[in-house]
């Protein structure tokens, strides 16, 4: 079994010791170094070439954002931001690190005496192991090409579009930002989103998405009317549904694909009269969440889009959708946003322009 080599970057000696203990206790992980600030973290990343880096945010000499940015330029490596999430500033800094190329934001485990220590330690280990499978690349100035699966789109008269639904997992926050930035506040449809994220960060994600994209985003509430030109993020711990009257409905539900909220549940919840009036988008992420449901939406007349391989941090979810023939378009994030704008503002002509 190949060992997963991990570099820990944190300015607190006690936190470095805690993370090294948690990660080093797993037989599949090897902590190859601990750095007290971002500058040394960058140097050790270049020298040691770890498989995964855990990154603190607030550090002297070079903070976690700058260290992540430079690592992704010099030696692209999966970066897991380990945050205390104790303040608004720290949550905001975590999403800036994701802008710089970090893959995921997780909560720092408490000390061993805390009742949540064991579960949070297991969650950290799971995350580090799964991120080791992600191949990250330099793609700051890259552009992706449009592709299309060989199966033709269903031949039916396009219906006026009434909503957009999106699903994302690993690498998703920055992708959602890029898509929403193309829409503008006058976008004529509501945008409903499921993003897999660690507990405690959903409200911060909604705020960051709104600020970074210029498109207003909030966490969905039960019974809330879904309004045009606004984004709604599924809250943690609930499954999000959309009713025929375009209201959000929160149900406890069971986890699907290990997730609650799950993309599959949102996509499947669309009532018959909304399915042909929807645009559904599946983005970067591990596993298969939402892929089968995207295929069903396509069969029912929805416009379906998946992210292209070159821009995706992980191609599990969109790749499975492609395998099933679920996608009508395969696009990079900014072009997804432009396509949504065209479809929403010119329902029939827009589809013609897109070749659908």
Residues labelled catalytic? 169, 196, 289
Residue 342 in contact with residue 305, Cβ under 8 Å?
no
Sign for the CA dihedral angle at 228, 230, 231, 234 comes to negative
User: How far apart are the C-alpha atoms of 57 and 106, rounded to whole Å?
Assistant: 12
Angle at 326 between CA 333 and CA 231, to 5 degrees: 45
Cite the DSSP H helix spans in 108-257.
117-131, 172-181, 202-213
CA separation (Å) from 143 to 104, 155, 197, 272, 325? 23, 31, 26, 36, 24
Q: What are phi and psi of 297, to 5 degrees?
A: -65, -40
Specify whether the CB–CB gap between 18 and 8 falls below 8 A: no
> Residue 351 CB: number of other CB atoms within 10 A?
19
Of 170, 212, 196, the closest CA to residue 315 belongs to 170
- Rounded to whole angstroms, the Cα distance separating 172 from 317 reads 11
Angle (deg, nearest 10), helices 38-48 and 64-74: 20
Dihedral in degrees, nearest 10, Cα atoms 57, 60, 66, 68: -50
Q: What is the DSSP string of 255-300?
A: -BTTBSS-HHHHHHHS-HHHHTTEEEEE-SBSS-TTHHHHHHHHHT
Whole-number Å distance between alpha carbons of 324 and 308: 15
Q: What is the DSSP letter of 9?
A: E
């Amino acid at each position: 079994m190949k060992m997963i080599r991990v570099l820990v970057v944190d300015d607190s000696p006690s936190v470095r010791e805690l993370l090294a203990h948690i990660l080093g206790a797993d037989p599949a992980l090897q902590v190859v170094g601990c750095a007290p600030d971002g500058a040394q973290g960058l140097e050790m990343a270049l020298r040691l070439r770890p498989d995964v880096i855990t990154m603190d945010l607030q550090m002297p000499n070079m903070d976690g954002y700058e260290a992540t940015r430079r690592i992704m330029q010099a030696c692209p490596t999966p970066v897991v931001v380990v945050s205390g999430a104790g303040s608004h500033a720290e949550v905001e800094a975590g999403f800036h690190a994701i802008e710089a190329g970090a893959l995921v934001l997780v909560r720092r485990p408490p000390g061993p005496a805390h009742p949540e220590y064991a579960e949070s330690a297991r969650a950290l280990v799971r995350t580090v192991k799964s991120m080791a499978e992600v191949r990250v690349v330099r793609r700051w100035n890259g552009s992706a090409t449009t592709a299309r699966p060989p199966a033709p789109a269903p031949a039916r008269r396009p219906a006026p579009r009434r909503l957009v639904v999106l699903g994302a997992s690993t690498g998703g926050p920055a992708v959602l930002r890029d898509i929403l930035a193309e829409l503008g506040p006058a976008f004529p449809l509501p945008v409903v989103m499921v993003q897999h994220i660690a507990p405690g960060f959903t409200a911060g994600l909604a705020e960051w998405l709104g600020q970074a994209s210029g498109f207003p985003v909030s966490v969905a509430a039960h019974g809330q009317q879904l309004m045009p030109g606004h984004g709604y993020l599924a809250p943690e711990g609930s499954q999000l549904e959309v009713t025929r009257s375009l209201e959000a409905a929160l149900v406890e539900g069971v986890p699907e694909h290990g997730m609650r909220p799950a993309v599959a549940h949102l996509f499947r919840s669309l009532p018959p009269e909304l399915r042909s009036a929807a645009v559904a988008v599946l983005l970067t992420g591990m596993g298969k969440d939402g892929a089968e449901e995207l295929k069903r939406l396509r069969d029912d007349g929805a416009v379906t889009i998946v992210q292209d391989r070159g821009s995706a941090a992980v191609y599990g979810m969109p790749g499975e959708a492609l395998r099933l023939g679920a996608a009508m378009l395969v696009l990079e994030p900014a072009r997804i946003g432009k396509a949504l704008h065209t479809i929403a503002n010119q329902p029939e002509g827009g589809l013609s322009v897109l070749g659908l």
